Structure 1
Amino acid sequence: MKFIAFSLTVLLIAAQLVNAQSPKKPLRVGIAGMAHDHVHGILNKAFGKTAQTDIDIVGIAEPNRELAEKLAKRHGFSMSLVYPTLAEMLDKTKPEAVTDFGPIVDHKKTVAVCAPRGIHVMVEKPLATTFADAKQMEVLAKKHTIQLLTNYETTWYGSNHKAYAIANTDKSIGDLRKIVVHDGHEGPKEIGVSKEFLNWLTDPVANGAGALFDFGCYGANLSTWLMHNQRPLSVMAVTQQIKPDIYPKVDDEGTIVLTYPKTQTIIQGSWNWPFGRKDMEVYGQTGYVFTVDGTRMRIRLKGDKTEHPAEATAADAPATDPFAYFARLIHGETKADELTSLENNMIVMEILDAARQSAKTGKAVNLPQRALVR
């Protein structure tokens, strides 16, 4: 009996060692649309020279055959993966999750097709083009118990998470008083985005607005996070068309001011910066922390005679890339990050909707101080 018990113990330990050393099963992912240039990120991850194994692209829905063929040639994937509709792709390939790289206005359609099938969805920022669409997406996600995440480049910046820890976890700068967020670049046409991307990015229906939505969403996302999902009291926005010859249908300059009971946020989204930037200033009663880029920071605390530089690392962020995070989240290996969360991004959409209305009317929009209806 002792021999049998010993043998069973040995077998159990051996099985545990095999399981521990066995590679994790990759997340089966489908791609919905390829007209967003951010699609290159996931294609490089899945099919590049240093392809990673945490995701497996099982199908792609893209009605534009010419675009699909161009990207297949560039990234080396088979056109057998490409289907003309999302529904056909889902039915034929059975992905666990979908990443949406189409126009923002199509996010609602993607969730409407995926949610009833129990397929999780990650969309590129922002969540939707209207708060009304976002509410419909939220209802579907909750009804069918799927993850509905919004991907921002800045979520994966270690500097932002270290700044949050300094401001909110360590409380090293006192109560927050002002947040200033700068995002944007010289302009989508100026930096040479693809024609497919440019076509919908400069369409007020497909994108929701111009720079106001394209880059204003970053600041709304970060401010909501830093303020613990507190909704602002009011939203005021000013937009301009500095380059109407290039962007005749949408704004290329947008500034949003959010007022909270004891804090103010200024969001500067622009297609007119002299260079690309995604940085943030967080001021408290007794100090401040600035992010310069994904890793570099500047900090001045109470008692400091001058500010000092600091560095964040990849370990300060929840993951090194959104798709590795998505796979770990769906497989239950990590907890949900607040910046990608539906709760945060519903508030973001309420802010963006109010900002668009404010810019149109020239008046501040007061937000009713109540919990969002679920």
Structure 2
Amino acid sequence: MIMPTPYLSVISLALLFVCAAPASAQERLKVAIAGLSHDHVHPLLNAHQRLEVDILGIAESDSQLASRYKERYQLPDSLFFHTVAEMLHAVRPDVVLAYNAIAEHVDVAEICLPLKIPLMVEKPLATTVEQARKIAKLAARYDTPVLTNYETTWYRSNHVLKQLVSEGNIGKLKKVVVRDGHQGPKEIGCSEAFLSWLTDPEKNGGGALMDFGCYGANLMTWLMDGQRPIAVTAVTRQLKPAVYPRVDDDATIILEYANGVTGVIQASWDWPYSIKDMQVYGDSASLHAVDPETLVRNQSVQRSVQLAVNSEYFSNHLTYLTAVLTAGEIPENDLSSLANNLVVVEILAAARESARQGKRVMLSDRP
């Protein structure tokens, strides 16, 4: 079993993984799955079929949903359990990966962390600040890591962008614009099991604001080296109330920082196509991470150049987990870290409150 040891830097983790890869290639990461209702579980099951990861157990209370996955991926009955507690009584994985409703992450943490089993959840960490802090207290009490997985964490363009910003490539950072979303979860064909909680204001905490606003909050917190914004202003809309009657489907969030930097997060289920990009503006140039492999630098509207995106950061959450759980703790402001994602949940909670009240919310005023 892979167990955590003292924390290392991102560079140290990356170098350790590169050096250790040949020796560890024979021992695949051993994971257990909490829930199957999140469609992001498919890449993990595909990795299992490619023999890139070992799955020791799957906890899913919906027997029909479990049967569908069992048939689709030709999984044996012995892998399936009704509850997480039952599963962890029978198997001891390196890490549990949660693919259930966001509001249920805290329930999984309450089972895993006292057993000192690391946990990675799909974004965001929690639906409320209270839930997030409860998870953090459990992680501290049992000295066991809790991580959050975002697709954009593995975009090489984002990592090169941050490095260039840190080096002063665009001068003093002024503004960041992050756009995330797609045509809508129903429109792109998300499963009924996924939609049942993704469009539930309690289980997901909201609609597009939570589903895609969390990406921008995560990236902004990372770019700002863990700094919390001083104020949050948000506007949410229901552009398709007949399709999503219970939650917002479009959100704009403005973050104000003490050093004068402004973050603008545009999250929507009403884009004409799928988009996950980030633009940063300094006093001398801008950078645009267009997609995972494309980064453009602009000196002006007319002067632009595409940059190489050579990054040693991990390609996916499985290579990351293998390195982290083998080598050590997560750097404090890492994109997957608990410290970063506690701030993310604070931002999302303030954004929901701002949209509800129709006014700017000061984070310093929140308990």
Question: With structure 2 as the length reference, what TM-score do the two structures score?
Answer: 0.90
Matched with 1:83 is 81
Instruction: State the match for 1:13 in structure 2.
Output: none
Instruction: Look up the equivalent residue of 1:134 and give its one-letter code.
Output: A
Q: Is 2:364 aligned against 1:368?
A: yes
Which of 246, 250, 255 pairs up with 2:247?
A: 250
The answer to whether residue 326 in structure 2 is matched with residue 328 in structure 1 is no
Secondary structure of 2:315's partner? coil
The alignment's C-alpha RMSD in Å is 1.9
Say whether 1:344 aligns with 2:344.
no
Shift, 1:73, TM fit: 1.4
Give, as a single letter, the amino acid of the residue that structure 2 aligns with 1:205: E
Deviation for aligned residue 1:241: 0.4
Counterpart CA distance in 2 for 1:358 and 1:22 is 48
| Deviation per residue, 1:180-208 (Å, 9 max, x gap) | 00000000000000000011000000000
1:57 aligns with 2:65: no
**Hey, what does 1:209 align to over in structure 2?**
206
Question: Does the CA-based 8 Å contact 1:105-1:129 persist in structure 2?
Answer: yes
Aligned match of 2:221? 224
- Local SS of the residue matching 2:364: coil
Please, which of 64, 67, 73 is the counterpart of residue 66 of structure 1?
64
In structure 2, the partner of 1:318 is: 313
1:15 aligns with none
Structure 2: distance between partners of 1:21 and 1:310: 34
Give 1:320 shift: 1.2
Residue 25 of structure 2 is aligned to residue 31 of structure 1:
no
For the pair 1:288 / 2:286, whether they are aligned, the reply is yes
Hey, what's the Cα distance between the residues in 2 that align with 1:206 and 1:192? 20
Question: 1:239, 1:158 → 2: CA distance?
Answer: 30
1:1-374 equivalences under 5 Å are: 23-47=25-49, 50-52=50-52, 55-168=53-166, 170-261=167-258, 262-301=260-299, 306-313=303-310, 316=311, 318-332=313-327, 336=331, 338-368=334-364
1:329-373, Cα deviation, whole Å (9 max, x unpaired): 111178547000011000001000000000100011101189x9x
SS at 1:269's partner residue? strand
Give, in whole Å, the separation in 1 of the partners of 2:43 and 2:112.
22
Inter-partner Cα distance in structure 2 for 1:154 and 1:317: 15
- How far off its partner does 1:309 sit? 1.5
CA contact (8 A) 2:29 2:318 kept: no
How many angstroms does 1:31 deviate by?
Answer: 0.3
Cα distance in 2 for partners of 1:133, 1:333 equals: 25
Q: Which amino acid aligns with 2:79?
A: L
- Shift in alpha-carbon separation, 1:229–1:90, aligned structure 2, 3 A: same
Q: Give yes or no for contact 1:183–1:215 (8 Å, CA) kept in 2.
A: yes
Figure out how many residues of one structure are paired with residues of the other and give that number: 345
**Structure 1, unpaired ranges of 5+:** 1-18
Contact 1:172 1:301 in 2 (8 A): no
Structure 2: gaps (5+ residues): 1-20
Q: Is the 8 A contact 2:330 2:337 kept in 1?
A: no
Structure whose CA Rg is larger = 1
The answer on whether the counterparts of 2:234 and 2:355 sit within 8 Å (CA) in structure 1 is: yes
Cα distance in 2 between the residues matched to 1:193 and 1:279: 22
CA distance in structure 1 between the partners assigned to 2:209 and 2:32 by the alignment: 29
Distance 1:273 1:84 in 2: 38
Letter in 2 for 1:27: L
**Aligned match of 2:6:** none
Letter of the structure 2 residue corresponding to residue 324 of structure 1: T
- Which letter does structure 1 place at the counterpart of 2:40? H
Higher relative contact order (CA 8 A, sep 6+): 2
